[in-house]
Amino acid sequence: MLTSFGQRAFVLRLQDLPSPRWKQSATRHGCQILVDQSRALKMWSCRSGRLQKRQCRLTLSSFPSKFAQFSSIPRRGKFLQLEENVKKPAYMARQVNQCDGISIATDLIDFLNASPTAFHAVDEAKRRLRNVGFEQVSEKEDWKLEAGKRYFFTRNHSTIVAFAIGNRYVAGNGFHVIGAHSDSPCLKLKPVSKVTKAGYLEVGVQLYGGGLWHTWFDRDLTVAGRVIVREDKNGTISYSHKLVRIEEPIIRIPTIAIHLDRTVNSEGFKINTQSHLLPVLATLVKAELNKVAVESGRAESGENNDEQISTDDGGKGNLKHHLVLLQIIASKIGCKPDDICDFELQACDTQPSAIGGALKEFIFSGRLDNLCMSFCSLQALIDATSTESELEDESGVRVVALFDHEEVGSESAQGAGSPVMLDALSRITSSFSSDSNLLQRAIQSSFLVSADMAHAIHPNYSDKHEEYHQPKLHGGLVIKHNANQRYATNAVTSFIFREIASKHNLPVQDFVVRNDMGCGSTIGRILASGLGIRTVDVGAPQLSMHSIREMCAVDDVKYAYEHFKAFFQEVGHLHAKILIDDI
């Protein structure tokens, strides 16, 4: 296989090479293929770490093979590299690693697999930040911040704000922020989730956000979330907050067979979200047998029967949730079912995220909206502040904020509509000066990227897109525009974001919704209107948004990560050159 190690990755098989001489040379010397200014291919070999031009030259359009379909992708100055059957010179291998789309996509997949809920996403973000030396601060305490250092805080353990203060920062200087969201549409367990119907134990769920609920049928589901647990240490009672995730598929929402719903294909799959969307947990008969087994086990072990939980409504146990569910959660946490005081659990898919497609160019996963942008912004902040020299000339503060509750409008104590962002900017500023006017000055020198996934054009529904604004997979970050301010982008902010792309040779594309369709929105306009901060709305293109299983492209993950990293490194200088309201 061939992949690029320039900014734009694409794939070419060894057998697709245009002549036997190319193949021979590629195999023998470890060749590189350069797309030159005239969009022609030239072969190079690498010996002793130096590139040497070899004999071939061919235009992209003369490729008869599958490679032709990628002819619009490579740009001048980009190399392709053979991965199979080719000796890879160390000099080349190093460059490949620097820009390898697969490695950043694999890291994203690890992030996704670790993050079935917003609580877990924040936990994984914390782990990554701590690993590279970010220091956690608490909103309950006084902050003693220092220039050149990196910090983060969480709110409700479902929103996280991380920031790195430049060495040259003084109070009143601007913030360069990327905001994304940690939540995704899902089914959350009801306060009373215990439902028994037709010999089945079911779990009552409520809808969170605008999910494509039909995609939740016939999936192998489980539960995850957070639990408040009572702990008794030598007679002293305390309550702890624990994350829990059951790995096994313990629940499922079965579809009705076509034999019992003959019109489903002609009239559509219609569901009543109250009555049809309940996951099955167990059958009543097996649950009763399980209860008997548990109780007899307790009796044999001499445990006090008064503490037992019963599945009968007349019993002393938890009347709100099925015992078998509580048992599974309790055993995972290492407590008794009785010690579970309360929880916020949600149904989630058990299928791990994966790289797929015939050419390994896609990512298949739940929660790409918006953990993909959460990951790319977080990783960009980490990598754009990882060495002392990165912050040496920085006079601003680099910030990533991942908010909960975007999918339900952001109006909560920790959503983008809450004071959390203003609190963060205000507390950072006031850590360095008590002058209360400095915050407003700082905000007017600040820049916010609202990063949320975008709609790629769908091959089977291409008329849903505006004819001249059709974001493509592998096309780079999408700048989202809306004259009615559903997105906060304007000419200034889109220009700055595009200019950063151009400087780093990164692709970028535009989106505007059709005039005859409604437009989505995200945290951009909420933060822009709440703070008065200059904002651009962007996102990587994806398909199947809000399905339980979405898809995006490997290359776009790489572009987003590189674009965000470049944003942190460049925006301060660039933004300072744009004079609009200045005197």
Q: Which residues bind Zn ion (CB under 5 A)?
A: 369-370, 452
The least CB distance from residue 224 to Zn ion, in Å, is 19
The candidate with the shortest Cα–Cα distance to 421, out of 435, 445, 402, 395, is: 402
Q: Minimum distance between the CB of residue 370 and Zn ion, rounded to whole angstroms? A: 4
Number of residues that make up the chain: 583
Q: What is the DSSP string of 217-246?
A: TT--EEEEEEEEEEEEETTEEEEEEEEEE-
Provide, rounded to whole angstroms, the least separation between the CB of residue 407 and Zn ion. 7
Rounded to the nearest whole angstrom, what is the least distance from the CB of residue 522 to Zn ion in the complex?
6
Which residue do the tokens 């149904």 mark?
347
Find the shortest distance in angstroms from Cβ 66 to Zn ion.
Answer: 34
Shortest CB 222 distance to Zn ion, Å: 23
CB nearer to Zn ion: pick between 308 and 370: 370
Asked whether the beta carbons of 187 and 346 are under 8 A apart, the reply is yes
The number of CA neighbours under 13 Å toward the Cβ of 10 is: 20
**Nearer residue to Zn ion within complex by CB, 148 or 209:** 209
Identity of the residue, 158 or 370, whose beta carbon is nearer to Zn ion in the bound complex: 370
At closest approach, how far in Å is the CB of 513 from Zn ion? 15
Q: 10 Å Cβ neighbour count for 300?
A: 8
SS (H, E, C) 395-451: CCEEEEEEECCHHHCCCCCCCCCCCHHHHHHHHHHHHHCCCCCHHHHHHHCCEEEEE
Cis amide bond preceding 173, omega within 30 = no
Tell me whether residue 395 or residue 535 sits nearer to Zn ion (CB atom): 535
| Cβ-based nearer residue to Zn ion, 405 or 565 | 405
**Residue closer to Zn ion, measured from CB, 167 or 215:** 215
Smaller CB distance to Zn ion: residue 185 or 396? 185
> Minimum distance between the CB of residue 452 and Zn ion, rounded to whole angstroms?
4
Of 353 and 370, the one with the shorter C-beta distance to Zn ion is 370
Residue 555's closest CA among 19, 75, 49, 64?
Answer: 75
Closer Cβ to Zn ion, 318 or 522, answer by number = 522
How far is Cα 143 from Cα 141, in angstroms, rounded to an integer? 6
How near is the Cβ of 431 to Zn ion at its closest, in Å? 32
Task: Check: CB of residue 131 under 8 Å from CB of residue 103.
Answer: no
Could you please report the per-residue DSSP string of 462-520? GGGS-TT----TTS-EEEE--TTSSS---HHHHHHHHHHHHHTT--EEEE---TTS---
- Return the residue matching tokens 């061939």: 2
Nearest distance from C-beta of residue 181 to Zn ion, angstroms: 6
- Which among 269, 281, 261, 275 has a CA at the least distance from the CA of 345? 281
Task: Output 339 or 452, the one with its CB closest to Zn ion.
Answer: 452
CA distance 1 to 100: 14
Euclidean distance between the first and the last CA atom of the chain, given in angstroms as a whole number: 57
Give the integer Cα–Cα distance in Å for 51 and 394. 36
CB of 189 to Zn ion, least distance (A): 22
In a 10 Å sphere around its CB, with 0-12 CB exposed, 13-18 middle and 19+ buried, how is residue 262 labelled?
exposed
CB closer to Zn ion, 370 vs 470: 370
Q: What's the min distance (Å) between Cβ of 409 and Zn ion?
A: 12
Residue number with CB closer to Zn ion (253 or 363)? 363
Task: Specify the pairing of strand 150-155 against strand 159-165.
Answer: antiparallel
414, 155 Cβ separation under 8 angstroms = yes
